[in-house]
Amino acid sequence: MKRFLIVAILIFTLCASCELKKDKEEYTPLAEVNGEILTLEAFRSLYTDEQWNKLSEAQKRKEIENWVNLTILAQEADNEKISEEKATKLRIDYAVKKVKANALLARRLANLTISEEEMFNYYRLHQAEFNRKLMEYNIQRILCSDENSAKNLLNKIKSGEYDFNLAVSDYSLEELKYRQGRMGFVSANSPDSLFWKAAQKLKINEPGVVNVNGKTYIIRVTEQREGTQEATFVDYRSEIYDLLLKEKKQQVYNDLVRELKMKNNNIYYYY
């Protein structure tokens, strides 16, 4: 019996140590502020998959620094007993409810889909609103050796470490750099239509990486103007998708609130 207990204790200890090791492996530290560990998992939870994939390494580093600064301020608020003040507690309670509500909505929205048929029907119903000419974009570009070097240079440009014009002259691997990488105005039906397509997704002077014919470029739009070519459903597809998505999100919110209010009818207003 004694031998059985010893074996049982050894097995329990081994399992417990394995569990502790597993728990430790679940969290990846990013920073530590006065003993408080800020983890990658907590940081990642702040973003949707789409938002996370759009963040560059430079942006992630900046957001981590912002998080460290926020933590320092919050800790000082605790030290000065501000967190115990009634008004602060009420705001914290409201913020907690907001996070919970957003988590519930995110779960309901996870399986939200928009079909091609829905988008085309919307286009036909609102065709007068989409009766516009396609834009033309004045594009400036930098030819890079590969995608990794392009992303590294893009981070430097976005952080302000490198001016775009200077980056063209220092890094571009094509003759166009002697004209500051300026392509001129590019339209949808021009030979450079792939650059035009990428430019559609960028704001004025916002740089981005694009792959064209096996080559990697950093581009930015310096100007835009209305062209002569009529737009079609395909050209508006992305815009229509965003409009329908916004509508459906609002509908899911309205339906969920209505459903919960019917289920919880003990709601009273005192104003």
Asked if 245 and 252 count as a contact pair (C-beta separation under 8 A), the reply is no
- Per-residue pLDDT of 208-267, as tens digits, reads 999 998 999 999 999 999 888 777 888 888 889 999 999 999 999 999 999 999 998 888
Q: φ and ψ at 265, to 5 degrees? A: -90, 5
Q: φ and ψ at 112, to 5 degrees? A: -70, 130
- Per-residue pLDDT of 45-102, as tens digits, reads 888 887 888 888 888 888 999 999 999 999 999 999 998 999 999 999 999 999 999 9
Please state the length of the chain.
271
Give the pTM. Answer: 0.60
Beta bridge partners of 204: 221
Domains, the chain, in order of start with CATH, read 24-78 (no CATH), 85-132+231-261 (no CATH), 134-230 (3.10.50.40)
Which SS3 state, helix, strand or coil, does residue 232 take? Answer: coil
